[in-house]
Structure 1
Amino acid sequence: MPAAPVVTVMVPSHNYARYLPGALRGVLRQSVEDIEILLVEDGSADQSPAVARAFAARDPRLRVLTHADGRNHGLPASLALGLARARGRWTAFLEADDLWHPRCLERRLETAEREGAGVVFNDVAPLIMPGVDTTWLEGHARRAMRRCARHGRAAPGAWPFLLENGIPTFSCAMARTALLRGVSLQTPVPRWLDWWVWAQLAARASLALVPERLTRWRLHPESWHHGVEIPGYLEDLRRMGRGFRRLFARDLVRRGQWGALAFLWLPAPLRLAARMALAARDDGPARVLRCVSGRLGAARSIRGGPRGGFA
């Protein structure tokens, strides 16, 4: 068997045939060549399987995995399938509609070695599709990334992620494969699987941020995160809080982090209010209101075609 690669790149794919070629070209052009690419085909009904097979025929580093019955099983099952086959010391994620800078993995590996981190993530550049408001990205997402990187650089601890998700997309992060195999993928809120995973990893390992926009994150109306109504958002927060209590209550007691433990028992509206208060302290109330309205799909639509770039 060939030597284990440095990085396994996992690309879960479901009905994104129009975006998949760009994502795969970005992986295959990475400056780090010692990689394997596991494309997990999750029962697509479009041309995604044909696109994946065509790329695999041209580059042996790419393998296409499918579920045993060939049907759609969702992101948690697809990631579990990929992790079972991953051979790399690191596992990086790339969603099939996103793009990477050619030096994305190189810069992450450099940062991981310098910082001794178990999880590395980078800043993102939005690739905006028609009908999407990104006010929340420029405010909440970047503030949360900086905050979680700052608090997660030293001793491991899930507390920053109990408040909010500091790594806004799978496509901007990678983690040591051995650590990933120890986390639960059974998230109480499927569209927040990334938050569920990062919180568990933060409790086990230190984090490091690459302050460069190495990922182009495609934002479009088909995304799970677009246009969420407030009642649904609060219900999701309630379910996540209950799941986090199950995962972390014992550890928080052991660490004596009584404030974090009490926070998890607050009703969802109060936890959301606490997040908004923190953001208002950092960014000002007016900007927070704009970010919240954009995140919940209540703000204006953005007109025009895709835009955004690496910086």
Structure 2
Amino acid sequence: MTRASVLIPIHDKETTLPLAVDTVLRQSVEDVEVLLIGDGVTDGVRRVAGNLVAADRRVRFLDFPKGPFHGERYRHDAIQAADSDAIFYLCDDDLLLPDHVADLLELLEDHDLAQCLNGYLTPAGEVRLFASDLSDPHVAALHLRDDLDYNAISITGTAHTRSAYERVSRWDTTPTGFWPDRWQFRKMLAPGFRAATSARMTALQFPTSSGGRDTWEPQARTDEIVPWHTLVTSPGAQDDIDRRVREGMLRQLIEDREELATLHASLASTREYFTVQLESKETYFGELVAALRAEPAALREELDTLRGHVDRLQEIRAAQEAKIEALRERLRARRG
């Protein structure tokens, strides 16, 4: 049986696709296959895919019409068609180092889901890392929370067993608000699954969403990846990437410490602001409480004054009524 099946979703990247496939076919584990998952491919991509199939029997092309979103549901069909129980993934504009499949196959002997040290390359050639260890239950739990936008899993560089996939729901159109890889792979981070992260970065990612690449023309994307393909296919490539990872870790650590220091200063300023506001509010409410406590006494004094006026008016009224009664007596006496 084929030791590893590498699934590559394809649509319109005809110039980078041959480079990605070439790095799969150069794996130190030779018994691999490549399944190109067409999602409404362009004529150019269909031609390139056909050439790749003709050039190497290990490459197969599944030509599907354009599906919803990124055609995720076709990945299920590809898994069903795969000859291996070890399912790997790669984007059509990313690259694998020679030992990628070997590293993750070793992890998959005792795990359901595995990934290489995850990160990406900036246009300047610097490594940026998604610091994560999927074997850590705390990290796995973070991926499962819907109230956090936390994800350290990419489609490139990730692999899982067929049996693990069959224990979760199949690839299908991703719900709004999620990336396909996070939506699918996090199912294999639930309790009862075993996940792991390799200590080496053996997959190189060049995400369109970073470094302004979303504005690049296809030729610019190709021009960026060609030198990296030359590196990946040259002796000592892994040592070079390991060095870049170490440098990237240090650079990222320094930047993270700077960011934390800035955040700490911002929190301190915010705390000071709210402390002043709280003290001001406490003073205000203290005065308000004192005024409310004093108000009943003032009301009682005013009420006593009003009662005095009422009593005086009643006395005056009684005196007037007495005078009127006296006049009535005089009138009655004269009439009699």
TM-score range, shorter chain: 0.5 to 0.7
Q: Please say if residues 99 and 215 of structure 1, whose CA atoms lie closer than 8 Å, have aligned partners that are also in contact.
A: yes
Q: What per-residue deviation string (whole Å, max 9, x for no partner) do you get for residues 219-245 of structure 1?
A: 23599x979xxxxxxxxxxxxxxxxxx
Q: Please say if residues 172 and 215 of structure 1, whose CA atoms lie closer than 8 Å, have aligned partners that are also in contact.
A: yes
Q: Please say if residues 165 and 195 of structure 1, whose CA atoms lie closer than 8 Å, have aligned partners that are also in contact.
A: no
Q: Structure 1 residue 34 and structure 2 residue 31: aligned? A: yes
Aligned to 2:175: 188
1:289–1:37 CA distance, 2 compared to 1 (3 A): farther
Q: Structure 1 residue 213 and structure 2 residue 201: aligned? A: yes
Cα shift at 1:46: 4.9
Aligned to 2:81: 85
1:125–1:167 CA distance, 2 compared to 1 (3 A): closer
Match runs of 1:118-129 below 5 Å: 118-124=112-118, 126-129=120-123
Q: Please say if residues 118 and 152 of structure 2, whose CA atoms lie closer than 8 Å, have aligned partners that are also in contact.
A: no
Q: 2:102 aligns with which of 86, 103, 106?
A: 106
Match runs of 1:22-101 below 5 Å: 22-67=19-64, 70-73=65-68, 74-101=70-97
CA RMSD of aligned residues (A): 3.4
Residue identity in the other structure for 1:98? D
Find the aligned partners of 2:43 and 2:150 in 1 and give their Cα distance.
32
1:55–1:195 CA distance, 2 compared to 1 (3 A): same
1:198–1:289 CA distance, 2 compared to 1 (3 A): farther
Higher helix proportion, which one?
2
Q: Please say if residues 167 and 198 of structure 1, whose CA atoms lie closer than 8 Å, have aligned partners that are also in contact.
A: no
Match runs of 1:1-311 below 5 Å: 4-67=1-64, 70-73=65-68, 74-113=70-109, 116-124=110-118, 126-129=120-123, 138=128, 142-143=130-131, 145-146=132-133, 148-151=134-137, 160-162=143-145, 163-181=148-166, 182-184=168-170, 185-189=172-176, 192-203=179-190, 204-221=192-209, 283-284=256-257, 286=259
1:215–1:287 CA distance, 2 compared to 1 (3 A): farther
Q: Please say if residues 86 and 105 of structure 2, whose CA atoms lie closer than 8 Å, have aligned partners that are also in contact.
A: no
Find the aligned partners of 2:56 and 2:91 in 1 and give their Cα distance.
19
1:91–1:289 CA distance, 2 compared to 1 (3 A): farther
Task: State the aligned residue count.
Answer: 219
Find the aligned partners of 2:123 and 2:11 in 1 and give their Cα distance.
19
**TM-score calculated relative to the size of structure 1:** 0.61
1:190–1:7 CA distance, 2 compared to 1 (3 A): farther
Q: Please say if residues 153 and 185 of structure 2, whose CA atoms lie closer than 8 Å, have aligned partners that are also in contact.
A: no
Whose Rg is larger? 2
Q: Please say if residues 122 and 210 of structure 2, whose CA atoms lie closer than 8 Å, have aligned partners that are also in contact.
A: no
Residue identity in the other structure for 2:187? Q
Q: Please say if residues 7 and 34 of structure 2, whose CA atoms lie closer than 8 Å, have aligned partners that are also in contact.
A: yes
Find the aligned partners of 1:287 and 1:14 in 2 and give their Cα distance.
40
Residue identity in the other structure for 1:107? D
Q: Secondary structure at the match of 1:88?
A: coil
Aligned to 2:280: none
Mind listing any 5+ residue stretches in structure 2 that lack a counterpart? 216-255, 264-336
Find the aligned partners of 1:289 and 1:226 in 2 and give their Cα distance.
29
Q: Secondary structure at the match of 2:41?
A: coil
